[in-house]
A and B are shown apart, each in its own frame.
Chain A
């Protein structure tokens, strides 16, 4: 995963609460075999509506999503995070998040910014007033800022998650950094392996295994 220090850009005030993962990416999208391309399915039940905010010219290219309370509750599908990131979002701001969604986000490098409900409402108003207003999320400092107005709020990030975001460590990356430990473990004892059990076509070899 990519390291994230600063997320900067336009922000979209979604203005909805209780957006669950099925609304983020409906279940028919789960049938794909790829990890990419989910952006097209993001909020797909609303995307046909030309009035839907993501379809408005002013918000194109936004990198930050601002939503109401309980964003990302519901099914644990990681596809919700894939869809938001594939669309181009790098951070989501909301008064509260589904636990699993927040956890999944941290593992893929999507920054979740939890602010007080009145701050989120205020931010949404600022963005409706002027969609071109830049918003800056600073992961290291734990702040969200609208520089034009000097409006800044702090948010809490779990220190371990902050470190992962800043270093671009996903779970696998973290474990691969312990490759030497795994090598040592493998060398320390004889393990079962499938080596030699099957031939190239998956048939059981008849001769005794060495």
Chain B
């Protein structure tokens, strides 16, 4: 019998009974809840006179539509306010721990799980947000669910879930200096296409993945679903254990070491067979950014907007053509010369302390160009507090950035942080669909580069060019001041 993949091991360990196929019921260790996809699930629980089975495996935070204004500014939008109130009422009624707006533990759901240490190897984690795959960075099986599934998990702590297919994405070679996890994952998504991962759970492996920090692995896993995958994960290793050590959600001392011993077994057997395998060499990767309306619309940062004619597939060609019209771009324009109106640094893809440090190193070498609005939205209160302790907020403010309260913000634009029609933004968030950005006939445009490069060795300095604003000025960046604390 051949070995099992990491996914299979986690899946098998959570099968409520041996029933396979249609009747397979998967036990859920941790259910993360936020204000937008949960109210009707709670209402359904009430309507059917049911209750929440395991409030002690359920954790709620306000993130998707909270304003990022100072905390004394009331929530203006009545729908957002109602959703936030409903979350508070529901959590109080069913005994669920909630971090409301302004709470010290509040933040984007995929940022707070890891930083509190409650996202752990070998777990099953779900949340009513598609980017739940982020937590796969810890070697957990983590995926997004819809509202009726949220209700199902609340009531039963399980989900009907048949076995997914498995794909190994191995990234070998030496990641060039100055390239980041996001460049890696954009390259993977570009290779697979937006539907190429459909039906699969991807395991990322290889020397490049192993060399990434936890934040970098989270960025990679976060974007798994951009390739259509159900989830993405990375086998836990010393980097994982060191990240978790000392965090609130894990025990200390010997008990932690016992857990680590158990976690060490969480890896695919050497003879495990995957349903699909892809091997990539990172050595010749270049920094990428997206230029269009889906995450497979990527091009090298120093390249040009491609011509739709370069897409062999007629459907893709038509999509690319529409994307260019939508973005107001023409083929052949240098990507670094595209003017932007708004710069957004945030979202669960890139709003952790490590991301903000890198962005601050860039910010301290220039100023936001006149006429450009630039926002930094930390992923959580803890990230914000840490950044302020390091003085990053001052660097951003001095450079002309707004320093905001945590939340999802412009990633989905359910809060007041929105583009106006015709505006174009450069953002570190996920490249979402045009529907998500410009629904209802509003023709917003967004240009989404990967964040500034974040990996470099020791003390060596090197140039990065990172341009923003109409002037397209470039900036030099020096070595990082502090190592990794948090």
Contacts and interface: CB of A to CB of B under 8 A. Distances in A.
Contact of B152 (A33, A172, A193): A172
B432 interface: no
Contacts of A52: none
Q: Chain A interface secondary structure, helix, strand, loop or mixed? A: loop
Interface stretch (A112-120, A122-130, A178-186): A178-186
A197 B82 CA distance: 28
B137 interface: no
Contacts of B157: 182, 186
B50 interface: yes
Interface in A147-196: 160, 170-172, 175-176, 178-179, 181-182, 185-186, 191-195
B384 to A, nearest CB: 17
Interface residues of B, number: 50
A202 B98 contact: yes
Given A176-B155, A203-B104, A35 B43 contact: yes
A209 B247 CA distance: 12
A204 B156 contact: no
Nearest to A82: B40
B43 A202 contact: no
Contacts of A176: 50, 155-156
A166 to B, nearest CB: 18
Interface string B43-84: 110011010011011110000000000000000000100110
Contact of B25 (A27, A36, A178, A197): A178
Q: Chain B interface secondary structure, helix, strand, loop or mixed? A: mixed
A129 B350 CA distance: 62
B465 interface: no
A31 B84 CA distance: 12
B94 to A, nearest CB: 13
A172 B29 contact: no
A200 to B, nearest CB: 9
A36 B98 contact: no
Given A35-B40, A191-B27, 13 more contacts: A27-B439, A34-B39, A35-B47, A172-B155, A175-B158, A176-B155, A181-B25, A186-B157, A191-B57, A193-B56, A198-B97, A203-B105, A204-B248
A195 B148 contact: no
Contacts of B193: none
A193 B54 CA distance: 9
A176 B27 CA distance: 13
A172 B156 contact: yes
* 9 nearest A-B residue pairs (beta carbon): A33-B39, A35-B43, A31-B79, A195-B56, A33-B86, A204-B248, A193-B56, A175-B156, A185-B16
Nearest to A194: B56
